[in-house]
Structure formats: C-alpha cells, structure tokens
Structure 1
Amino acid sequence: MLVTDGILDRELQSEYTITVTATDAGSPPLSSVKVITILVLDINDNRPTFTQSESPRGYLVTKVVAVDADSGHNAWLSYRIIKATRPNLFMVGLHTGEIRTVRAFTEDDEAKQTVVVSITDNGPESLSATATVHVMIGDGLPVLNELFEFADESQHNDNLTLYLIIALTTVSSLLIMLISGVFYFKLCRRSYAYRSTTDSLPVFPTTYLPPFTDISPQTKTIGQHKNPRQL
C-alpha cells in the first residue's frame, strides 16, 4: 500500500514516478521491479490573480485607422495627439496610428482618460480630421471604453464660417436699423420744434386798408348841386 506523507499540489508537481521493488526471503532472494506513475488531479484551490499590476512603457492601448480617398502624396497620413487628459501618459505613432503608454499609471491618474488624435493628409493645403478615444484604467491596465468619435475639421470650419457670416449680417442689420432710428427721431424732433415755434407767433391780417368807399366822379357832381330852394 502506498501512502502519501504530505499534500500533493498539482500546481507544484502534476506527475510522480515511483519505482517499487519486491524481494522474497529465499536463497538466493528473488525480486521484481514495478514502476508506478501517479497523476495528480486538479482541484479548484487557487484564486485568480493578475499577472501584471501596471502597464509598462509602450503598452499598446488601441490603434487609430484612417483612410484618404486621394492618391499619391496627398493620401499620406500623419497622426498626432493634440489633446489629452494627461499629456505625458500616451503617445501615438506618427504613421501607424498606434496609441501606446508612455509610462506606468499611478494613483494620481484619472480613471477615465480622453485622447484626441489629429489625422492630417500630405496635400499642399493639408486637410485634417480628429478622433476622440476614451480609455478607462482598470487594475493598472488601460481598457478601451468607447468607440472612436471622428470629426471632420474642414466641415467644422465651414460651419463656423457660416455661423460667423450669419452673426455679422445680423449685427450689421441691427446697426443699420439703430442708425436709421436715430436719424428718424432727430428729424421728427426738429419738425416738431419748428411747428411749435410757428404756432406761437402772432397772426396779423393780410391787409390794413379802411373799409371800401366809393369816390366816383358822379358822386362828386351830385354833391356840388345847389339846394333847389335857393333857385
């Protein structure tokens, strides 16, 4: 009978080989050899543990991939980080778009990190777009939290230009209306002052001649006749 004198641990050794020799008491003694192989079965006696407590420098977080419909030099793309929660925590490959860690995470680092990557083509007048990557730090390792959020900067600039034109037009219209209102107010005020002045002046008749008297020659002749009683 084989009896163990201790606990067998499969994680330390999963297989044992034992050689057993049986010898009788005859003269001369005879013996026989038996090789026994013992396999240790696994039981659930270990808790899970993390093999890595922090990310080393150069740990690949994710990869930003962009395409350009142009051809030749115009389609050569460059990747740069233009904004990040921690500027010294991530780096991006200039032509690969691979986002990697620059250093190990510390307790001072925020649990949620945001990295904004700019993708620029190689045209004479470079066009660009941005990709926003959200990363969660869990147990010292970065985990991609959300999908990329792409934004076309050229479209954003066009919208901004349109908004500026609308705002400028509105301000100009309001300014013109204000100036017109001021001139109209001054004109009405001047007209009212003129009417008030003329209404207060005295009103005189248009003529100063005495009442009409008829001094025709006939009347004078009649006035020169003698009294009939004197004839």
Structure 2
Amino acid sequence: MYEKTRYLTAGDKALLLEFGNIISEEINHKVRSVMIGIQRKEIKGIVEMTPTYRSLMIQYDPLLLGFQDLIHMLQQFEEELDSIEIPLPKVIQIPTVYGGEYGPDIENVASHNGLSVETVINLHTGRKYLIYMLGFTPGFPYLGGMDERITTPRLKTPRTKISGGSVGIAGNQTGIYPIDSPGGWQLIGKTPLKLYDPNRETPILLNAGDYIEFIPINEAEYKKIEKAVEANCYQYRTYAIERSAE
C-alpha cells in the first residue's frame, strides 16, 4: 500500500508531489509510474518534471493550467496507477578498476570496516544498484542497495577536484562522479565510461529506474576501454531484468 500523496506548492509555477517519507524501491517506483503516466497523457500546460527519491516536482504554465485543476487531474490520475505499465528496467555494466591511483581511499574503506581490500571489491561488485535519481552534477547517479559492511563516512576534508569517472562511497551510499568536481566521498575506483558527454546524442548515459552493476577490470583493460570511449566506438553492455521490487 502507498502512503497518501501530499500536494505542496513550490512557488507560483510548480507543484510538489510527495509520495512518502522514506527511501524505498516501492515509493521510487510510484514516482516513476506517475511521471511516465503524465508524459503519456500529454497534459497541456505541464512544462517539466523532476523526479527524486520520493517526490516529483511538476513545473507548469499557470496561463494554461490552473493549480487546483492540476491537483484535481492528478488525484483522478492516481487511481489509474495500478494499470500503468512502465518500461522494464535495464542494467548497465560499469567496468571499474579498483585501488591504486584510481581508488586512493579503498584502504581507508577496508580499514574502517575491518576488511581486506579484496573483500571490499567483492562486496561492492557483488550486487545490482537501483538508480533512484540523477542530480548534483549532470548524470550523477544516486544509488541504492550498497552492502552495509562497506559503509564508510565521507572524508573530513573534501577534495577540491575529483576526476570524472571516479567511484566513491559516502556513508551507506555509493556513486560515480560524471565530471570533474569537488567532493568528499571515499574514492575506491574509477570507470573509463563517460556518464555525461555533451557531444553525445544522448548526453546522460544513465536513467533513473534502471540499475547498474560494477564490473572489476585491471588497468590494461581500463586503458583499452578508455581509448574505445574516446574514439566513440565502445559498446555499452546492457541487459533487461525483472524489477526486484515487484
């Protein structure tokens, strides 16, 4: 059962739908269902939608669509949720080289949790991660499902620059920096893939609602894939799976 949706104002041109107060696959599934359903309805006046872990921001044109009219439309629409079919989620495999100059903090993660570096890598690569949402920087994936045994606090002093492709851990989350940016996550590895490329037909590689899987590679494989990505001839490995929350 879903919690009762809250309809909140967000300025004079936006409506925020809150579907719950916790991070869960079920609530995130509802966020996606509502967004996809609205997209299919092609409601005149809706300008843009931004999904999060547990909410959906809807920006609209008040000259074309009234606030109360929009709420009434969405309340009726929610009754149809069970009949909405959303695309089968995909898994994108993320080749990642761990440790060394690519993951300078992996020993911190191992030491903090009383594990070997090899065990940290095995635990990090041993599962699929749901992409709950994208944000912070273009294409940055907020992932769920990391093994609690490698939970590690952020760095006390953030780095002023982290290279795009760096894979890190912060608390009970793991993620990938799409572009060079500051950050305080514990860096454990790096992928040669470009999660964000403004020159690509589809600039952002990942999509909320899909999954990723980290695949361990060595430095030679990293450099080979990096060259293929630069030459725009790398074939991203993806496959479809049944959603684990259903």
TM-score range, shorter chain: under 0.3
- Of structures 1 and 2, the larger Rg is shown by 1
Please report the TM-score for the alignment, with normalisation by the length of structure 2: 0.19
Please report the TM-score for the alignment, with normalisation by the length of structure 1: 0.19
Q: Which has the higher contact order (CA 8 A, sep 6+)?
A: 2
